[in-house]
Homo-oligomer: A and B are copies of this chain.
């Protein structure tokens, strides 16, 4: 158990959208936190790049540090919030130094935890302090606590869901407004749902992937895996695909999936076609949802707002309360030396039904060229929709296949890279079953 006085000194490093909101919440909820835990919190140090930046809430400049490392030298800190958000550099340095000085750390930084979580957890355990990161996955949804505590004695075999609000908003909004990816992305940036400068880490699946790595480690009691996985974002999803999906009673969702298959770990993030009649097909807009399948509990679903300072700060404060109540916890639920390494599943053997969209010249023999090629690789066809465009002498061919493996699909499709009747390499979206 952590020895903690009744007066708790807090530092916040990073005053971006999240950090500044947290700063205000801690100040306004002081009394309530004291009522719930008997501890009086005080923010005694803050740090950011620019002291004078215009912020949503005013800061106390008397406690401002330009160099966050100075905080550890000059102040007695009990709990440090890291909300800079880098996977390395100063984010890693300040967290490491704090843990070494027996300071509890709370962070929403998924990139840091997905990359260095194992090392940092060992450091926290060695120094008998807490490292909490509830806010790193699915914003306000307390999914990590649920796995670590609420479902603690279940054997979880699979955890998956919609883990990125930005991409889910874009896909929903393309369907609702009938507008292109680029237009909707601009709208998302305006509304604050996507990073104004570089939204790449959301769009290419990287953000969701970091969350999947963390979820796997917690669900399966394993080390964070480092293996190469299938990671695809939504950058190549066209309005055309959304419309065709709609006609087929399907919807495109960016899913993160982690599963134990034959004792091996399979992790992936890619767009999926899901039925409109399923639960996951109806999680729209900026909502996130995480689904766990465990024994004996069965299927559990948690849904909530996945991003934004409000939900994130709700999770940061729940971590704070947990520490103030004196609950020591292993960062990943069990002691680091009991977390096993696990062999990765071979991605080539991942099997799915596929949606393939071809842009072709509207000529005799093109369809049979495609179907013969599929037949050669024993990929059987469930459905074909051919839409000719007489004017341009082009056609769109959409094929839904029965299940086939990644490697088989890759080999089969390779030929279409250089065929003068196939105008573009086909768009592939996996169906989720």
Binds B, one of A145-153, A176-184, A242-250, A263-271: A145-153
Cα distance A21–B296 in the bound complex, in angstroms: 10
| Shortest distance from the beta carbon of A149 to any chain B beta carbon, whole Å | 6
Chain B CB within 8 A of A347 CB: no
Q: Which residues of B contact A302 (CB under 8 A)?
A: 300-303
- Cβ contact of A303, chosen from B153, B303, B320, cutoff 8 A: B303
Q: Which residues of B contact A426 (CB under 8 A)?
A: none
- Cβ contact of A322, chosen from B21, B149, B295, B304, cutoff 8 A: B149
Cα distance A329–B149 in the bound complex, in angstroms: 14
Q: A32, A296, A311, A333 — which one has the most chain B CB atoms within 10 A of its CB?
A: A296
Complex contact A318–B140 (CB within 8 A): no
Q: Which residues of B contact A304 (CB under 8 A)?
A: 297-301
Interface size of A as a range: 35 or more
Q: Which residues of B contact A303 (CB under 8 A)?
A: 279, 300-303
Q: Which residues of B contact A334 (CB under 8 A)?
A: 35-36
Cα distance A300–B309 in the bound complex, in angstroms: 15
Complex contact B310–A140 (CB within 8 A): no
- Cβ contact of A153, chosen from B141, B151, B314, cutoff 8 A: B314
Chain B CB within 8 A of A325 CB: yes
Complex contact A314–B338 (CB within 8 A): no
Q: Which residues of B contact A154 (CB under 8 A)?
A: 314
Closest to A21 in B: B296
Complex contact A310–B282 (CB within 8 A): no
Q: A299, A300, A317, A338 — which one has the most chain B CB atoms within 10 A of its CB?
A: A300
Chain B CB within 8 A of A230 CB: no
Complex contact B298–A151 (CB within 8 A): no
Q: Which residues of B contact A141 (CB under 8 A)?
A: 300
Complex contact B152–A321 (CB within 8 A): yes
Cα distance A296–B312 in the bound complex, in angstroms: 9
Closest to A141 in B: B300
Cα distance A152–B300 in the bound complex, in angstroms: 21
Cα distance A21–B298 in the bound complex, in angstroms: 15
- Cβ contact of A279, chosen from B282, B295, B310, cutoff 8 A: B282
The 8 closest A-B pairs by CB, nearest first: A142-B150, A296-B310, A297-B314, A301-B303, A153-B317, A140-B297, A300-B304, A298-B305
Q: 7 A-B Cβ contacts within 8 A?
A: A1-B326, A25-B153, A150-B318, A152-B318, A154-B314, A297-B305, A302-B303
